[in-house]
Every structure is written in structure tokens, then in C-alpha cells.
């Protein structure tokens, strides 16, 4: 496919945007970052202009030519179908199922519970104090990571990465979720396979360049 | 592929299991239902035996021969790759992206926030009263459905179903979510495209046979 312009609506600390940045880097696809500040002025994702881009008022959004795409995991599948090398999914259907299930364990059952809009809802509507909000985040990360650790540690397909020895969709989701876990001071010592894989990923330039603190909209340290 | 035995660990009212039942029916695949009662005895999904099947302690799980598969959307992708007819995804990558994004809007950003384990957590840990728990469910369904309605109503690819004129992965997720919305008395009058598509789906035997009340573990009316 012709290298039409790629624009990523992103926020440096959004873990869903981080997934897509990793995917774009793994495919060696250059892209333009369009920063959407999720906090400032009540959140730019809620502006009338951005609602036209995504009625869900969430990042990331990837624009490819005139096509506007939402949902990070669906975007990663698109990248993999459009630019097949290097693959983000293994060849066999049953292995692809495993990779997608690992990714969805994060993308469905950990991340959405701990997303900014949920924590804001607790604060503004239920007046849940900060320590309890933090405990909520830690709880769901621990629930999810305990299951993930079991699925990774006990499985013969696990290699250097979640599935075998090259990164997949599952690793694109895992690394941002571990970043989030650290932000909320989750004790990661119980998840040695997860942290081992995270380390292997971050040693690759594609993952390293996607780190939140390396984004153009990250605050200057 | 040889028709190895398919076993679905399911609960009649689980909307994630409902998705997979629709997919199996659309592919005309016979399967055995293994009921996992999510309420009785503190929840059979938390038993030691079931944790061996799924460390996430969630349904559905699909067993195909000796392969154990988790995560409903990843299971639907497996069904589609293993038994390609009739397809659950369109042919073009950009249309596949749209269908997956619609599915994930439900599977990531609506359903997990309203799942049983979350409502139990509010009840047991935060002592949130029932009316506020119901309002929570309604809030996230409304947020999600408002975005979905916009994505469906304004798009030229929307047909009888979410994408064109045959059911896809998106419809497999939509119908169970509308069922859930009704359970929690969400006003659906603002979502005419969603309810129109739901009606078209439920007119098909594959969807009708997957309804919660038609499952072997549903309570006798």
C-alpha cells in the first residue's frame, strides 16, 4: 500500500496511544503526532472539534489518508493487515487466539477500569478520595496481572516475548500496562514473567521510542 | 478443520458468553454448554477447578479439542479464521478495522465497567447502594451507545447490520450489550440505529437461539 500520511491523535501518557505508537514503530511507519491534552482546559478530547474525530472522546485515533480509525487494538490489527512485515500475530489460528486473548485481558479487563474518565467519575460524582481511587487501580491491575502471569508462566509458547521470540500485539498492550502499574505504585515483584518480558521489549528501539517521556507532548523534565 | 468437539463454558446471562454463542450459531457449529453459575455458592468461576480452566475466573471459555481459549472477541476471531464461512469480518482491511472498532467500543469501553465483578466490588468494598450501582451501569451504557449511535448512523457502510447486510463481529457484541442495557432499564429511544440493528439480528435464528432465556442453564420461567 502507498505510504499515505499517517496522523496519530495521541497523549503522551495514554497507555492506549502508547500501544499504537509501539505498533507503528515496529512496522517502521513514520507518523505525525497530533497531541490531544487529556487534562488541560477540561480535556481537549471533549472539544467539539475532537468529537468530530472520535465521538467516544478518547485517544488514540489514527488517520490514514482520509480514513479515521478508533480503538487501539483494532488499529493494531489494521496495521498488521496493511503492512504485514514484521507480523504482530503468529501464523496459526490457535496461536493468534492466544495472543489476542492476552492483549484483550489487558485492553478489556484491566485498562478500561482504570482509565482517566473512570477515575474522574469517582472523584466528581462519588467523591471517592484519592487513596481509595489508587487502591481501585491497584486492585484491577493485580487481578489482571495475576491471571496474565499464570497464562504466561505456564505456557510453552511464551518465549522472550509473550508469544515466541518476536513481539506481538500482546507485547504492544503489555508494556503500556506495566508503565501504568508503576505510575500507581503496584508491587510488581509477584509478576516475574511480566517484568522479564517488559524488559526485553524496552530493549528494542521500537518500544523505547514509544515511551511516554519521549513523546513531543511530554512535559520537559 | 475436523469438527473436533467444542465445549463452551457459559452462563446464560453473561453477555460475553452470549457473543460467542451467536458466533458459534452463525458458523453452524454444534457445541456442548458447560454451565458455570456466576452467583451460586459465591460464584463457580472462583472454584479451584475453574481457575485451572481460566485464571481470570471469567466466562466464556471455549475448548476446542485440547485447546482452551479465553476472551470472547479473541474466540470470535478464532472461529472466523478456523471456519471462514460465513465471514464475521468484511474483506477490506479498512472495513475490518471499523467492525473491530465497533466491537471493541462495546467489549472494552462499555461491558467491562458494568461486569458482575465490578458491581460486586462496589457493593462489598465501597458499600455503594443499589440505585447508585444501577446509575453507574446506565451512565457507561449511555456514554458508549451515544458514541456507537453516531458511528453507525453517520456512516455509509452501515446497512441492515453494523457493517453492510450480513452480521459481523460487531453485531455479535451489540446484541448482548443491548440485552444488558434493557436489564438495567436504560432508555433506548435515543439510539434508533442500534435498536433497528438489534431487531434485524434477533430475527435471525443464530441470534435468536443464543438468547439468554433459551440457554440450558436459564431458570425455568
Contacts of the segment A43-51: beta carbons below 8 A, 24+ positions apart: A50/A9
State the Cα–Cα distance between residues A19 and A180, nearest whole angstrom.
12
CATH number of the domain bearing residue A40? 3.40.30.10
Cross-chain residue pair B97–A69, CB shorter than 8 Å: yes
User: Could you report the per-residue pLDDT of A173-182, keeping only the tens digit for each?
Assistant: 999 999 999 9
User: Could you report the per-residue pLDDT of A125-174, keeping only the tens digit for each?
Assistant: 999 999 999 999 999 999 999 999 999 998 999 999 999 999 999 999 99
Share of chain B above pLDDT 70, in %: 99
- The DSSP output letter for B152 is H
The residue whose grid cell reads 500485539 is A169
**Cβ neighbour number for residue A213 with a 10 Å cutoff:** 10
Together in a domain, A181 and A81 = no
Top-confidence residue, A220 or A131? A131
The reply to whether B203 touches chain A by the CB within 8 Å rule is: no
- Interhelix angle A130-153/A116-126, rounded to 10 degrees, is 150
CATH number of the domain bearing residue A122? 1.20.1050.10
Together in a domain, B82 and B125 = no
Which of A86, A102, A137 terminates a domain? The answer is A86
Which of B52, B86, B120 terminates a domain? The answer is B86
Which of B53, B70, B86 terminates a domain? The answer is B86
ipTM for the whole predicted complex goes beyond 0.95 = yes
B-chain CB neighbours of A150 within 8 Å are 55
Q: So what's the pLDDT on residue B214?
A: 97
Together in a domain, B47 and B128 = no
User: Could you report the per-residue pLDDT of A85-106, keeping only the tens digit for each?
Assistant: 999 999 999 999 999 999 999 9
A-chain CB neighbours of B147 within 8 Å are 54-57
State the Cα–Cα distance between residues A188 and B126, nearest whole angstrom.
25
Least CB–CB distance from B105: residue in A56, A121, A150: A56
The reply to whether A155 touches chain B by the CB within 8 Å rule is: no
Residues of chain B with pLDDT under 70: 1-3
B75-114: b (≥16 Cβ within 10 Å) or e: bbbbbbbebeeebbbbeebeebbbbbbbbbbbbbbbbbbb
Could you tell me how many CB contacts below 8 A there are between chain A and chain B?
119
Among A71, A141, A151, A191, the strongest candidate for a mutation testing the B interface, having the largest count of B CBs within 10 A, is A71
Q: Which residue in B has a C-alpha nearest to residue A56's C-alpha?
A: B147
Lookup: cell for A115 = 482509565
Quick check: is A109 in a domain?
A: yes
Q: Which residue in B has a C-alpha nearest to residue A105's C-alpha?
A: B71
A-chain CB neighbours of B57 within 8 Å are 147
Q: So what's the pLDDT on residue B154?
A: 83
State the Cα–Cα distance between residues B166 and B149, nearest whole angstrom.
19
The reply to whether B93 touches chain A by the CB within 8 Å rule is: yes
Cα maximum dimension of chain A: 51
The reply to whether A58 touches chain B by the CB within 8 Å rule is: yes
Cross-chain residue pair B81–A93, CB shorter than 8 Å: yes
The reply to whether A185 touches chain B by the CB within 8 Å rule is: no
> Structural domain of residue A19, as residue ranges?
7-86
Least CB–CB distance from B104: residue in A74, A109, A121: A74
Quick check: is A213 in a domain?
A: no
Quick check: is B218 in a domain?
A: no
Q: So what's the pLDDT on residue A1?
A: 47
Together in a domain, A108 and A203 = yes
State the Cα–Cα distance between residues A25 and A86, nearest whole angstrom.
11
Q: How many domains does chain A contain in total?
A: 2
Return the CA Rg of chain A.
17
User: Could you report the per-residue pLDDT of A43-87, keeping only the tens digit for each?
Assistant: 999 999 999 999 999 999 999 999 999 999 999 999 999 999 999
Amino acid at each position: 500500500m502507498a505510504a499515505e500520511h499517517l496522523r496519530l491523535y495521541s497523549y503522551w501518557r495514554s497507555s492506549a496511544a502508547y500501544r499504537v505508537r509501539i505498533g507503528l514503530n515496529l512496522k517502521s511507519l513514520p507518523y505525525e503526532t497530533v497531541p490531544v491534552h487529556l487534562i488541560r482546559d477540561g480535556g481537549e478530547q471533549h472539544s467539539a472539534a475532537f468529537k468530530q474525530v472520535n465521538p467516544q472522546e478518547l485517544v488514540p485515533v489514527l488517520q490514514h489518508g482520509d480514513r479515521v480509525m478508533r480503538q487501539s487494538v483494532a488499529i493494531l490489527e489494521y496495521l498488521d493487515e496493511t503492512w504485514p512485515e514484521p507480523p504482530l500475530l503468529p501464523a496459526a489460528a490457535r496461536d493468534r487466539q492466544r495472543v489476542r486473548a492476552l492483549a484483550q485481558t489487558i485492553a478489556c479487563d484491566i485498562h478500561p477500569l482504570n482509565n482517566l474518565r473512570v477515575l474522574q467519575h469517582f472523584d466528581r460524582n462519588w467523591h471517592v478520595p484519592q487513596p481509595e481511587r489508587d487502591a481501585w487501580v491497584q486492585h484491577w491491575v493485580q487481578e489482571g496481572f495475576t491471571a496474565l502471569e499464570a497464562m504466561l508462566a505456564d505456557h510453552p509458547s511464551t518465549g522472550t516475548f509473550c508469544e515466541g521470540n518476536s513481539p506481538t500485539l500482546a507485547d504492544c498492550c503489555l508494556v503500556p500496562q506495566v508503565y501504568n502499574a508503576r505510575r500507581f505504585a503496584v508491587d510488581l515483584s509477584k509478576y516475574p514473567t511480566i517484568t522479564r518480558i517488559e524488559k526485553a521489549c524496552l530493549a528494542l528501539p521500537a518500544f523505547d521510542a514509544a515511551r511516554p517521556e519521549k513523546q513531543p507532548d511530554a512535559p520537559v523534565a
